[in-house]
Structure 1
Amino acid sequence: MHHLTPEQIAELREDLLRMRERIIKYAEEQIRDPSNVSFEGGDEIDRANIETERYISLQRIKTRELKLLRKIDYALMKIEQGTYGICESCGALIPFERLKARPVTTMCINCKELEEEGEHE
């Protein structure tokens, strides 16, 4: 028996799908609009530097968005499998409030805090 009601699962699924749609829309806008940068004066080297900076920041956006898309897809898959909302580290049930605040989470707050403490040592 799952600790989340069918309504809660449906709500979280909708949240995940909306997040997914927003990311895809944002990524498409970034790719479609190369005029984010205007070249006012400056020489070829300045322009090349601006283009390089823009490319690097676009790559960073793409990497970050891609990671989040993967997490969203993973969460949606877990909903389908009936394993969503269960901590992958200790098996505890993740409360609805935590899932609502961070629908892609795979850990209960205790395990997440332990993981973060480990990263800072």
Structure 2
Amino acid sequence: MTLSSEKLDFFRRLLNQKINELLEDAEKTVADMTDSKENYPDPTDRASLESDRNFELRMRDRERRLIAKMQEAIKRIDDGEFGVCDVCGGPISEKRLVARPVTTLCIDCKTRQEKMEKLKGE
């Protein structure tokens, strides 16, 4: 089962929309951090601010990696490989792609992968 050109366009638009949203959020974060010139004399307040900033930066780093995955998914659309499982070569269900458009594994292969990871972790 190959995805129709309409479905591929849908996923391309979805991915681009999500990328744009994440980039806008990142710009706001940078602007907020640049604009805020808080000077907290209280060490606890300063520590809380630094903790909040570190958390925000970690979130933005995760989002940066997600953007890279989304860009790879768009490239797979362009290359005709989107919706095809990297492991078994079978189709990835539309339902799964809607839930996680960056996925490269069908649900069966992902389930097997998670079971193997769990066994290695025990």
* TM norm structure 1: 0.85
Report the counterpart of residue 114 of structure 1 in structure 2: 112
User: What is the Cα deviation at residue 88 of structure 1?
Assistant: 0.7
Report the counterpart of residue 11 of structure 2 in structure 1: 12
SS in 2 for 1:105: coil
Percentage identity across paired residues of the two chains: 30
User: What is the Cα deviation at residue 54 of structure 1?
Assistant: 2.2
User: What is the Cα deviation at residue 42 of structure 1?
Assistant: 6.2
Report the counterpart of residue 20 of structure 2 in structure 1: 21
Letter in 1 for 2:78: E
Select the structure with the greater relative contact order (CA < 8 A; seq sep ≥ 6): 1
Gaps of 5+ in 1: none
Count of aligned positions: 118
Gaps of 5+ in 2: none
Cα gap change, 1:52/1:90 in structure 2, threshold over 3 Å: closer, same or farther? same
Letter in 2 for 1:96: E
User: What is the Cα deviation at residue 55 of structure 1?
Assistant: 2.6
Equivalents in 2 of 1:102, 1:4: separation in Å?
16
Structure 1 vs Structure 2 CA RMSD? 2.2
SS in 2 for 1:87: coil
Q: Structure 1 runs of 4+ off > 6 angstroms?
A: none
Equivalents in 2 of 1:16, 1:59: separation in Å?
22
